Amino acid sequence: MTLDSTSVYEKSAPHVSTIIPTFNNLDTLPGVINCVLGQTFTDLEIIVVNDAGVDPREYVDIRDPRLTFVDLKENKGVSAARNYGFSISRGRIIHFLDSDDYISSNFYDIMVHELDSGGYNAASSAQITVPIEDIGTTENIFDNTVEQVQTSYYLPEKFFHIFSKESGKFIPSATLLRREAIIKRLGTSPWNESLRNGEDTLLFLDFSAEYGMAYITEPLVVYTFRAGSLSKDQLASWSGRIEAMDLLVARMEKEEKSSGMIKVAKGMRNNAARRVARILATSNKKSEGLKVIISDIRKHPNIKSLLEIVRIYSPFKI
Cβ(21)–Cβ(95) under 8 Å?
Answer: no
Residue 7 has pLDDT above 50, yes or no: no
Contact predicate 112/123, CB 8 Å: no
SS3 content of the chain, % helix, strand, coil (to 5): 50, 20, 35
Q: CA–CA distance from 48 to each of 40, 41, 98, 157 (Å)?
A: 20, 19, 10, 34
Over the chain, what is the mean pLDDT? 90
Q: In sequence order, what E strands does the chain have?
A: 16-22, 44-50, 67-71, 93-96, 102-103, 122-131, 151-154, 175-178, 213-225
Report the C-alpha gap between 18 and 88 in whole angstroms. Answer: 11
pLDDT one-digit tens code per residue, 60-86: 888 999 999 999 999 999 999 999 999
Q: Indicate if the pLDDT at residue 133 is higher than 90.
A: no
What's the pLDDT band for 227 if we cut at 50, 70, 90? low
Q: What is the dihedral of CA 283, 286, 289, 293, to 10 degrees?
A: 140
Q: Find the range with the poorest average confidence among 111-115, 139-143, 256-260, 312-316.
A: 139-143
pLDDT at 141: 64
Task: Return d(Cα 194, Cα 205) in angstroms, integer.
Answer: 17
Name the helix (H) or strand (E) containing 270: helix 259-282
DSSP state at residue 39: -
Average pLDDT over residues 230-251: 89
pLDDT in tens, 188-202: 999 999 999 999 999
Q: Output 85 or 317, whichever has higher pLDDT.
A: 85
Instruction: Number of helices (H) and strands (E) in the chain: give both, helices first.
Output: 10, 9
pLDDT at 312: 82
Domains and CATH numbers, the chain: 5-219 (3.90.550.10), 234-313 (no CATH)
In this structure, are residues 99 and 32 in contact, taking their beta carbons and an 8 Å threshold? yes
Residue 223's CB is within 10 A of a number of other CB atoms, namely 19
Average pLDDT over residues 85-104: 97
Instruction: Give the Cα separation of 201 and 163 in Å (integer).
Output: 9
pLDDT at 3 over 50: no
- Across residues 273-277, what is the average pLDDT? 96
User: Is 221 within 8 Å of 101 (Cβ atoms)?
Assistant: yes
Q: Which pLDDT value is given to residue 11?
A: 59
Residue 18: closest CA among 117, 113, 89: 89
pLDDT class for 313, splitting at 50, 70, 90?
A: confident
DSSP track, 182-237: HHHHH-SS-S-TT-SS-HHHHHHHHHHHHH-EEEEEEEEEEEEE-TT-GGG-HHHH
Q: What is the mean pLDDT of residues 52-65?
A: 91
Does the pLDDT of residue 229 top 70, yes or no?
no
- How large is the average pLDDT for residues 86-93? 98
- Determine the pLDDT at residue 225: 82
Which residue from 59, 72, 3, 8 is spatially nearest to 33, judged by alpha carbons? 59
